[in-house]
Chain A
């Protein structure tokens, strides 16, 4: 659709809905464009639901370190010779390899478009094993619990009651600079999350093919436009109950953005880059398509949230993990290829998060909830082909194991988030609002972004 027309149409609907206060908050009503952000940057969070066993994703290949690994992991160990070798530019003297099925990760790493951030996890301050065992340290509450640790990764709330997520806070803090954007800064392919919840901004959810639109309101439905007008009158009239109002708010955003998004997507029905037909592949594909038409939305900064599940490998890990890591590698590689195709590879950075790492010990055919684990960052703005941080000892009851093969993180989820936020455009002075525990750590930036 014609650019000006699109904007005019959007403004009209936006004005209609905002007239009675339904659509509110910065970032939702287009105001004068700010000169602050003229370029474009985008963060894509791929959240691995359930807790990725990343100590089987990146494995030491040197004999000494491999033997420690194999002794710990026993029947869950990956065969040494099967590991996919990599050649990090910042070697620590140990050889490493990716899981045999993670060919996509190996390819991205070797081409310089992927970095590993080693042994990162929720922390309130640096933790030593002695401190942990003696109770002499502050810890995130409810370690090893899925939803609590996922919440920590997404909110970085520590022991506070903070209800926002760090992407939500980024959108809040940049709202004035991004007030010209026609879409909310935060977009999800995977429903609501703590990660994107802001105080003054709300995320927006798409489906795998774009925006859902109301069948009963379409032009070719009998009295569709009249029905839509009637529905909008109901929404703008307001409701005397908080739950009705929350629902009406969502309906309003559905109405406001659906045509904008779907009209734009018609411009680029498909990219040339094929994506795996997996849940993650389909979700990354719609993000890639939205990025291909991002100019239609007049956006300078966007954050996407994508989840993919199945990582809670309590049982059948040897059967399930190969598919999980193959899919992850193939999908990240396809996405990076697509970004190159549309010329955004150095403006879009993809990163993983996960509930926690998993225990090095086995429960027979699987693993339990751990703490620290490796994360992946990909994109051309990443200082790729490097492993950041320190590889932990993988010895049971070793220096980094608090018990049962649960590894103390050496880097914090706050440092990880702050590094990404800083690249995205958050001033150093504002990073502590995004990552509230950052001050407890020496490094404010882990240095993996160019």
Chain B
């Protein structure tokens, strides 16, 4: 199923005019407890819901109950033990794709499957966050290698609760990253030919994946020099040092350095003859001695990066931004960075401890402090939240969605460049900019994309629900049966939809507007999907407080 922008609009128009008529059988809701009134859990529906919007691809009623029953920390501990859901094994079980486009669609199928149905929700969410910090993209020669990208994503998934330095090494040695930032095939200098090592990976691994451009305090604030200017973390000579480190690597199983095997599923290997043997200047005045092997140089260089003082705050801040809030306080960043530095058992870079610290921090758990709190939800995560809340599925048991980026300006491993869909410091002109705050997701929010996001949601809700009579086996339908059962009680119906999408936090205005719009309809399904659409396309739903 390939949707172009125009098709989506056209289809949605057609079906908007013809939807309704569904009716649907009544489905019993949970029975009211009889006998002893059980004690209300300490955690409210709203609190559990907000937590799950931070920690998963969208709350479901069952997961909200689970969090309320066992508590935030126990839920995280449960998640840490879940088996990782991977992409490659699933893709291997599918029929051989006919072309690379179909292969990429299979890859997205695997991603949606894990995001929507994986039991390891927290791991999947963290992997998605990491995929936007350590970026590779199929908008490159990697388009031809869907399995290579899936392998990359699986590495992120496997290391999401592991150690940062091991993650950095895994990322560095994936052939996908090797191709994307041209470390693969990078070779020692040839002065006569004016050939020097490629600086691409050397630069971006520092600028984007680990330490950033300027020296940071432990709380993420910028260190300023006597002229009030930021202090650079490195200069060109250090980039050249790392560029020389990253020489000599290519695909595993290659007959020679210049005859690549294109084996993507195993880490790259070094050909010593193509590795530079000189000294290399690294961070913190470290100089690698001449004559080391490519492997020893690489290990020492990654250790050098991972132990830099910037890493804890630089990575912690971005993970907080992906999961919880756009503008975490310095104290919040500092608390998380402290856990990054030492997880309590003397280990640096323990990502499971970091994630736990992010989600259990008072700033993440307390009621939203003020108007500046929270974040704009990533557009793609609005869709997954709707699909998870209403248990969306297709008859063919697949999630065939070839071009999410046309509507949502993002898709897994599909950024325009290594700078991701948006930058952590993006501030839209106006109020946010004037306050000195940021709203990264606003970088992909403009007069075009704000419409295309809502148009896709309109399609996914108005046209693709369980009461549609003539179903297509590849279309993903939301399940509205339990809402249809409430259709004679509009307020109860609105409450249920508001519980699913907003944790019950619906403004009086949105409630009354939703009721008015529902009242236009004389079909049961019409009333239900109108209510879901009203809430799912509201600015209230788009923002995670």
Partners in one complex: yes
Nearest chain A residue, comparing its CB with the CB of B545: A241
Is there contact, CB below 8 Å, between A226 and B520? yes
Is there contact, CB below 8 Å, between B182 and A315? yes
Taking the complex as formed, is B185 at the interface, i.e. its CB lies under 8 A from any CB of chain A?
A: yes
Interface of A is mostly: loop
Known: A49-B416, A192-B442. 20 other contacts (CB 8 A): A74-B195, A75-B193, A145-B207, A146-B417, A147-B423, A192-B444, A192-B446, A211-B447, A223-B521, A226-B520, A233-B513, A234-B538, A242-B371, A243-B542, A246-B432, A248-B539, A258-B447, A314-B182, A315-B185, A363-B199
Taking the complex as formed, is A3 at the interface, i.e. its CB lies under 8 A from any CB of chain B?
A: no
* Shortest distance from the beta carbon of A25 to any chain B beta carbon, whole Å: 8
- Residues of A within 8 Å of B437, CB to CB, are 242
Taking the complex as formed, is A141 at the interface, i.e. its CB lies under 8 A from any CB of chain B?
A: yes
Render A70-88 as a binary contact track against B, CB cut-off 8 A, 1 for contact: 0111110000000000000
Q: Which of B178-231 contact A (CB under 8 A)?
A: 181-182, 185-187, 193-200, 203, 207, 213, 229-230
Is there contact, CB below 8 Å, between B376 and A247? yes
- Residues of A within 8 Å of B17, CB to CB, are 220-222
- Residues of A within 8 Å of B454, CB to CB, are 214, 216
Segment at the A interface, from B8-16, B45-53, B102-110: B8-16
Is there contact, CB below 8 Å, between B419 and A246? no
* Shortest distance from the beta carbon of B361 to any chain A beta carbon, whole Å: 19
Taking the complex as formed, is B430 at the interface, i.e. its CB lies under 8 A from any CB of chain A?
A: yes
Is there contact, CB below 8 Å, between B510 and A222? no
Complex partner residue of A218 from B13, B194, B375, CB under 8 angstroms: B13
Per the bound structure, the CA–CA distance linking A246 and B526 in Å amounts to 31
* Shortest distance from the beta carbon of A148 to any chain B beta carbon, whole Å: 7
Is there contact, CB below 8 Å, between A364 and B195? yes
Q: Which of B444-473 contact A (CB under 8 A)?
A: 444-452, 454-455, 458-459, 462
- Residues of B within 8 Å of A226, CB to CB, are 517, 520
Taking the complex as formed, is B531 at the interface, i.e. its CB lies under 8 A from any CB of chain A?
A: no
Complex partner residue of A204 from B447, B452, B509, CB under 8 angstroms: B447
Is there contact, CB below 8 Å, between A163 and B433? yes
Taking the complex as formed, is A142 at the interface, i.e. its CB lies under 8 A from any CB of chain B?
A: yes
Question: B residues engaging A (CB < 8 A)?
Answer: 5, 8-9, 12-13, 16-17, 19-20, 141, 181-182, 185-187, 193-200, 203, 207, 213, 229-230, 232, 236, 239-240, 326, 368, 371-376, 409, 416-417, 419, 423, 426-433, 435, 437, 439, 441-452, 454-455, 458-459, 462, 509-510, 513, 516-517, 520-521, 526, 530, 533-534, 537-540, 542-543, 545
Taking the complex as formed, is A18 at the interface, i.e. its CB lies under 8 A from any CB of chain B?
A: no
Is there contact, CB below 8 Å, between A368 and B199? yes
- Residues of B within 8 Å of A227, CB to CB, are 517
Q: Which of A203-253 contact B (CB under 8 A)?
A: 203-207, 211-216, 218, 220-224, 226-227, 230-231, 233-235, 237, 239-251, 253
- Residues of A within 8 Å of B520, CB to CB, are 222-223, 226
Taking the complex as formed, is A386 at the interface, i.e. its CB lies under 8 A from any CB of chain B?
A: no
- Residues of B within 8 Å of A274, CB to CB, are none
Residues of A within 8 Å of B, CB-based: how many? Answer: 88
Taking the complex as formed, is A181 at the interface, i.e. its CB lies under 8 A from any CB of chain B?
A: no
- Residues of A within 8 Å of B432, CB to CB, are 242-243, 246
Is there contact, CB below 8 Å, between A234 and B513? yes
Is there contact, CB below 8 Å, between A142 and B232? yes
Taking the complex as formed, is A419 at the interface, i.e. its CB lies under 8 A from any CB of chain B?
A: no
* Shortest distance from the beta carbon of A317 to any chain B beta carbon, whole Å: 11
20 contacts between A and B (CB under 8 A): A74-B195, A168-B429, A188-B446, A203-B429, A205-B448, A212-B452, A216-B537, A222-B19, A233-B509, A234-B510, A234-B513, A239-B543, A243-B326, A243-B374, A243-B542, A246-B376, A254-B450, A361-B195, A363-B199, A364-B185
Taking the complex as formed, is A384 at the interface, i.e. its CB lies under 8 A from any CB of chain B?
A: no
Is there contact, CB below 8 Å, between B429 and A361? no
Complex partner residue of B429 from A72, A197, A309, CB under 8 angstroms: A197
* Shortest distance from the beta carbon of A136 to any chain B beta carbon, whole Å: 15
* Shortest distance from the beta carbon of B11 to any chain A beta carbon, whole Å: 9
- Residues of A within 8 Å of B545, CB to CB, are 241
Is there contact, CB below 8 Å, between A234 and B431? no
Per the bound structure, the CA–CA distance linking A391 and B437 in Å amounts to 42
* Shortest distance from the beta carbon of B488 to any chain A beta carbon, whole Å: 20
Per the bound structure, the CA–CA distance linking A200 and B309 in Å amounts to 39
Complex partner residue of A312 from B16, B197, B417, B446, CB under 8 angstroms: B417
- Residues of B within 8 Å of A281, CB to CB, are none
Is there contact, CB below 8 Å, between B448 and A366? no
- Residues of B within 8 Å of A359, CB to CB, are 196
